Protein backbone atom coordinates (compact mmCIF):
# COMPACT_ATOMS: atom_id res chain seq x y z
CA UNK A 1 0.00 0.00 0.00
CA UNK A 2 1.48 3.34 -0.97
CA UNK A 3 0.88 6.90 0.14
CA UNK A 4 -0.79 7.43 -3.23
CA UNK A 5 -3.83 5.70 -1.76
CA UNK A 6 -4.73 8.91 0.05
CA UNK A 7 -8.37 9.92 0.11
CA UNK A 8 -10.37 12.73 1.62
CA UNK A 9 -13.36 11.51 3.62
CA UNK A 10 -15.85 13.29 5.86
CA UNK A 11 -16.43 12.92 9.57
CA UNK A 12 -19.67 11.13 10.46
CA UNK A 13 -19.34 11.52 14.24
CA UNK A 14 -16.69 12.22 16.85
CA UNK A 15 -17.52 11.60 20.50
CA UNK A 16 -15.77 10.81 23.80
CA UNK A 17 -16.81 7.52 25.36
CA UNK A 18 -17.87 6.91 28.94
CA UNK A 19 -16.67 9.29 31.62
CA UNK A 20 -13.35 10.30 30.09
CA UNK A 21 -11.46 12.99 32.00
CA UNK A 22 -10.99 16.32 30.18
CA UNK A 23 -7.70 16.28 28.32
CA UNK A 24 -7.49 12.48 28.45
CA UNK A 25 -10.65 11.60 26.55
CA UNK A 26 -11.03 8.23 24.83
CA UNK A 27 -12.78 9.04 21.58
CA UNK A 28 -14.70 7.13 18.92
CA UNK A 29 -14.19 8.78 15.52
CA UNK A 30 -16.41 7.58 12.67
CA UNK A 31 -15.43 8.48 9.12
CA UNK A 32 -16.95 7.76 5.74
CA UNK A 33 -15.70 4.42 4.44
CA UNK A 34 -12.83 5.10 2.00
CA UNK A 35 -14.08 2.41 -0.43
CA UNK A 36 -10.97 0.30 -0.04
CA UNK A 37 -10.54 -2.56 -2.45
CA UNK A 38 -10.02 -5.39 -1.70
CA UNK A 39 -10.69 -4.25 1.87
CA UNK A 40 -9.00 -4.24 5.27
CA UNK A 41 -7.87 -6.76 7.89
CA UNK A 42 -7.88 -6.54 11.68
CA UNK A 43 -4.46 -5.40 12.85
CA UNK A 44 -3.85 -2.98 9.98
CA UNK A 45 -3.67 0.76 10.58
CA UNK A 46 -4.32 4.09 8.85
CA UNK A 47 -2.66 7.48 8.80
CA UNK A 48 -5.00 10.42 9.38
CA UNK A 49 -4.46 14.15 8.85
CA UNK A 50 -7.39 16.58 8.91
CA UNK A 51 -7.53 18.93 5.92
CA UNK A 52 -7.84 21.87 8.33
CA UNK A 53 -4.58 21.20 10.17
CA UNK A 54 -2.03 24.04 9.91
CA UNK A 55 1.53 23.56 8.73
CA UNK A 56 2.83 23.29 12.30
CA UNK A 57 1.11 19.88 12.40
CA UNK A 58 2.96 18.46 9.41
CA UNK A 59 2.57 14.74 9.91
CA UNK A 60 -0.51 12.57 10.02
CA UNK A 61 -1.19 10.34 13.00
CA UNK A 62 -1.30 6.50 12.92
CA UNK A 63 -4.30 4.63 14.32
CA UNK A 64 -5.32 0.99 14.39
CA UNK A 65 -8.45 0.25 12.42
CA UNK A 66 -11.01 -0.36 15.12
CA UNK A 67 -13.76 -1.51 12.76
CA UNK A 68 -15.32 -0.79 9.38
CA UNK A 69 -18.31 -1.68 7.26
CA UNK A 70 -19.63 -0.60 3.87
CA UNK A 71 -20.52 2.90 5.09
CA UNK A 72 -18.11 3.84 7.87
CA UNK A 73 -14.62 3.45 9.31
CA UNK A 74 -14.22 3.57 13.09
CA UNK A 75 -11.06 4.80 14.81
CA UNK A 76 -10.49 4.79 18.56
CA UNK A 77 -8.02 7.29 20.01
CA UNK A 78 -7.05 8.82 23.32
CA UNK A 79 -6.18 12.47 23.74
CA UNK A 80 -2.50 12.43 24.70
CA UNK A 81 -0.97 15.41 22.90
CA UNK A 82 -1.40 18.29 20.50
CA UNK A 83 -2.42 16.21 17.47
CA UNK A 84 -5.05 14.09 19.22
CA UNK A 85 -6.39 17.17 21.01
CA UNK A 86 -6.97 18.74 17.59
CA UNK A 87 -8.62 15.54 16.35
CA UNK A 88 -11.12 15.87 19.19
CA UNK A 89 -12.20 19.22 17.69
CA UNK A 90 -13.41 17.60 14.44
CA UNK A 91 -17.10 18.04 13.70
CA UNK A 92 -19.57 16.20 11.50
CA UNK A 93 -18.86 17.02 7.85
CA UNK A 94 -15.21 18.04 8.37
CA UNK A 95 -12.78 16.47 5.91
CA UNK A 96 -9.74 14.40 6.77
CA UNK A 97 -7.09 12.91 4.53
CA UNK A 98 -6.61 9.22 5.18
CA UNK A 99 -4.18 6.73 3.69
CA UNK A 100 -4.35 2.99 4.20
CA UNK A 101 -5.03 0.29 5.04
CA UNK A 102 -1.35 -0.04 5.95
CA UNK A 103 0.79 -2.84 7.35
CA UNK A 104 0.06 -6.49 7.94
CA UNK A 105 -2.60 -8.10 10.14
CA UNK A 106 -3.42 -10.73 12.75
CA UNK A 107 -3.95 -14.36 11.77
CA UNK A 108 -7.45 -15.83 12.12
CA UNK A 109 -7.05 -19.60 12.44
CA UNK A 110 -10.13 -21.79 12.34
CA UNK A 111 -10.72 -24.65 14.79
CA UNK A 112 -8.07 -23.28 17.14
CA UNK A 113 -8.40 -21.31 20.40
CA UNK A 114 -7.29 -17.68 20.21
CA UNK A 115 -6.35 -15.50 23.17
CA UNK A 116 -6.55 -11.74 22.62
CA UNK A 117 -4.40 -9.75 25.05
CA UNK A 118 -5.17 -6.02 25.05
CA UNK A 119 -3.60 -3.26 27.10
CA UNK A 120 -5.41 0.09 27.20
CA UNK A 121 -5.87 1.49 23.70
CA UNK A 122 -4.54 -1.81 22.39
CA UNK A 123 -8.15 -2.93 22.57
CA UNK A 124 -8.93 -1.09 19.32
CA UNK A 125 -7.93 -3.68 16.68
CA UNK A 126 -9.73 -6.47 18.49
CA UNK A 127 -13.14 -4.89 17.95
CA UNK A 128 -12.84 -5.63 14.25
CA UNK A 129 -11.05 -8.92 14.93
CA UNK A 130 -14.03 -10.22 16.91
CA UNK A 131 -16.55 -9.05 14.32
CA UNK A 132 -14.71 -10.60 11.38
CA UNK A 133 -13.45 -13.85 12.92
CA UNK A 134 -15.19 -16.91 11.43
CA UNK A 135 -15.44 -18.64 14.83
CA UNK A 136 -15.84 -16.05 17.61
CA UNK A 137 -16.78 -18.85 20.02
CA UNK A 138 -13.07 -19.81 19.97
CA UNK A 139 -11.96 -16.35 21.18
CA UNK A 140 -11.09 -15.11 24.64
CA UNK A 141 -10.19 -11.51 25.54
CA UNK A 142 -8.05 -10.45 28.49
CA UNK A 143 -8.07 -6.67 28.91
CA UNK A 144 -5.79 -4.65 31.22
CA UNK A 145 -6.80 -0.99 31.57
CA UNK A 146 -6.67 2.13 33.73
CA UNK A 147 -9.81 4.17 32.91
CA UNK A 148 -13.19 2.55 33.67
CA UNK A 149 -14.53 -0.07 31.24
CA UNK A 150 -17.29 2.35 30.20
CA UNK A 151 -14.64 4.44 28.44
CA UNK A 152 -13.92 1.62 25.97
CA UNK A 153 -16.02 -0.29 23.40
CA UNK A 154 -15.83 -3.29 25.72
CA UNK A 155 -19.49 -4.07 26.32
CA UNK A 156 -20.16 -5.04 22.71
CA UNK A 157 -17.20 -7.41 22.70
CA UNK A 158 -18.28 -8.97 26.00
CA UNK A 159 -21.60 -9.91 24.38
CA UNK A 160 -19.78 -11.95 21.71
CA UNK A 161 -16.73 -13.59 23.31
CA UNK A 162 -15.39 -14.79 26.65
CA UNK A 163 -13.88 -11.78 28.44
CA UNK A 164 -11.80 -11.02 31.51
CA UNK A 165 -10.39 -7.71 32.68
CA UNK A 166 -8.17 -6.26 35.38
CA UNK A 167 -8.18 -2.55 36.06
CA UNK A 168 -4.93 -0.94 37.16
CA UNK A 169 -5.74 1.64 39.84
CA UNK A 170 -2.59 1.39 41.96
CA UNK A 171 1.02 0.16 41.52
CA UNK A 172 0.28 -3.10 43.35
CA UNK A 173 -2.12 -4.09 40.52
CA UNK A 174 0.75 -4.41 38.04
CA UNK A 175 2.18 -7.69 39.47
CA UNK A 176 -1.35 -9.13 39.41
CA UNK A 177 -1.68 -8.27 35.71
CA UNK A 178 1.75 -9.70 34.89
CA UNK A 179 1.01 -12.93 36.74
CA UNK A 180 -2.34 -13.38 35.00
CA UNK A 181 -0.85 -12.70 31.57
CA UNK A 182 1.82 -15.33 32.19
CA UNK A 183 -0.78 -17.85 33.34
CA UNK A 184 -2.87 -17.31 30.21
CA UNK A 185 0.11 -17.48 27.85
CA UNK A 186 1.19 -20.77 29.46
CA UNK A 187 -2.36 -22.14 29.18
CA UNK A 188 -2.69 -21.29 25.48
CA UNK A 189 0.80 -22.57 24.69
CA UNK A 190 -0.11 -25.93 26.25
CA UNK A 191 -3.27 -26.25 24.13
CA UNK A 192 -1.63 -25.06 20.89
CA UNK A 193 -3.59 -21.83 20.79
CA UNK A 194 -2.74 -18.58 19.08
CA UNK A 195 -2.06 -15.45 21.12
CA UNK A 196 -2.64 -12.02 19.53
CA UNK A 197 -1.68 -8.92 21.47
CA UNK A 198 -1.65 -5.14 21.28
CA UNK A 199 -0.81 -2.52 23.87
CA UNK A 200 1.97 -0.37 25.35
CA UNK A 201 5.57 -1.57 25.32
CA UNK A 202 5.77 -2.84 28.95
CA UNK A 203 2.59 -4.89 28.40
CA UNK A 204 3.90 -6.38 25.16
CA UNK A 205 7.28 -7.11 26.70
CA UNK A 206 5.57 -9.15 29.42
CA UNK A 207 3.77 -11.16 26.74
CA UNK A 208 6.95 -11.50 24.65
CA UNK A 209 8.90 -12.86 27.63
CA UNK A 210 6.13 -15.32 28.50
CA UNK A 211 5.72 -16.46 24.88
CA UNK A 212 9.45 -17.19 24.65
CA UNK A 213 9.42 -18.94 28.02
CA UNK A 214 6.56 -21.29 27.14
CA UNK A 215 7.08 -21.59 23.37
CA UNK A 216 3.73 -19.96 22.61
CA UNK A 217 2.59 -19.02 19.11
CA UNK A 218 2.11 -15.28 19.60
CA UNK A 219 1.61 -12.26 17.34
CA UNK A 220 2.34 -8.82 18.78
CA UNK A 221 1.19 -5.51 17.30
CA UNK A 222 3.64 -2.71 18.10
CA UNK A 223 2.54 0.86 18.82
CA UNK A 224 5.73 2.66 17.69
CA UNK A 225 5.55 6.34 16.78
CA UNK A 226 5.20 6.94 13.05
CA UNK A 227 5.33 9.94 10.74
CA UNK A 228 4.68 8.69 7.20
CA UNK A 229 3.35 5.14 7.62
CA UNK A 230 4.84 3.95 4.32
CA UNK A 231 8.53 3.37 5.05
CA UNK A 232 9.96 6.68 3.89
CA UNK A 233 10.98 8.35 7.15
CA UNK A 234 12.63 5.51 9.14
CA UNK A 235 10.98 6.85 12.27
CA UNK A 236 9.40 3.64 13.57
CA UNK A 237 12.19 1.06 13.59
CA UNK A 238 12.33 -1.87 15.99
CA UNK A 239 14.66 -4.87 16.30
CA UNK A 240 13.82 -8.24 14.79
CA UNK A 241 14.80 -11.63 16.20
CA UNK A 242 18.27 -11.35 14.65
CA UNK A 243 18.81 -7.98 16.36
CA UNK A 244 18.55 -6.15 13.02
CA UNK A 245 16.56 -2.94 12.65
CA UNK A 246 13.31 -3.18 10.72
CA UNK A 247 10.46 -0.77 10.08
CA UNK A 248 7.21 -1.32 11.97
CA UNK A 249 5.05 0.38 9.31
CA UNK A 250 6.14 -1.82 6.41
CA UNK A 251 7.15 -5.14 8.02
CA UNK A 252 4.60 -4.86 10.86
CA UNK A 253 2.88 -3.62 12.85
CA UNK A 254 2.15 -7.30 13.67
CA UNK A 255 5.18 -9.50 14.36
CA UNK A 256 5.59 -13.09 15.45
CA UNK A 257 7.03 -13.01 18.97
CA UNK A 258 9.91 -15.30 17.96
CA UNK A 259 10.82 -12.90 15.11
CA UNK A 260 11.03 -9.87 17.41
CA UNK A 261 13.35 -8.47 20.06
CA UNK A 262 11.89 -6.30 22.80
CA UNK A 263 15.03 -6.17 24.93
CA UNK A 264 15.69 -2.67 26.25
Q: What is the pTM of this model?
A: 0.90
| Contact (Cβ atoms closer than 8 angstroms) between residue 214 and residue 30 | no
> Residues for the chain: how many in total?
264
Selected from 3.50.30.40, 3.90.79.10, 2.40.110.10, 2.40.30.10, the CATH number assigned to the domain covering 6-102 reads: 2.40.30.10
The total of other beta-carbon atoms located within 10 Å of residue 71's CB is 9
What residues contact residue 169 under an 8 Å CB cut-off, 6+ apart? Answer: 146
Specify the domain boundaries for CATH 2.40.30.10 within the chain. Answer: 6-102
Contact residues for 28 (Cβ-Cβ < 8 A; gap 6+): 13, 14, 15, 16, 17, 66, 74, 75, 76, 153
Residues carrying CATH 3.40.50.80, the chain: 114-261
3-state secondary structure of 238: strand
Domain made up of 114-261: CATH architecture: 3-Layer(aba) Sandwich (3.40)
Known binding-site residues for [2Fe-2S] cluster equal 228, 233, 236, 249
123-153 CB burial, b ≥16 within 10 A, e <16? bbbbbbbbeebeeeebbbbbbbbebeeebbb
Distance between alpha carbon 86 and the CA centroid of its chain, in Å?
20
Angle at 111 between CA 107 and CA 117, to 5 degrees: 45
Asked if 231 contacts 249 with a C-beta cutoff of 8 angstroms, the reply is yes
- What residue numbers does the annotated binding site cover? 61-64, 76-78, 83-84, 228, 233, 236, 249
| Binding site residue list for FAD | 61-64, 76-78, 83-84
Each of the 264 residues of the chain gets a pLDDT tens digit; together they read: 444 578 899 999 999 999 888 888 999 999 999 988 888 999 999 999 988 876 666 567 889 999 999 999 999 999 988 889 999 999 999 999 999 899 999 999 989 999 999 999 999 999 999 999 999 999 999 999 999 999 999 999 999 999 999 999 999 999 999 999 999 999 999 999 999 999 999 999 999 999 999 999 999 998 645 445 555 555 555 556 556 566 555 665 888 888 776 776
- Count of C-beta atoms within a 10 Å radius of residue 18: 14
Amino acid sequence: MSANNCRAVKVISNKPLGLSSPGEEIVELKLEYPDWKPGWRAGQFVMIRPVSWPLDLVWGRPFSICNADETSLTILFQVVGRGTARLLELKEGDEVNIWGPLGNFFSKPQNRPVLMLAGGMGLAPFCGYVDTHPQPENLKLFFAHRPPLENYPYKGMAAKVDVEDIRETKPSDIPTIIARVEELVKEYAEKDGLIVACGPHPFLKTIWNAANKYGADAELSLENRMACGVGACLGCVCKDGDDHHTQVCTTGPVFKANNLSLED
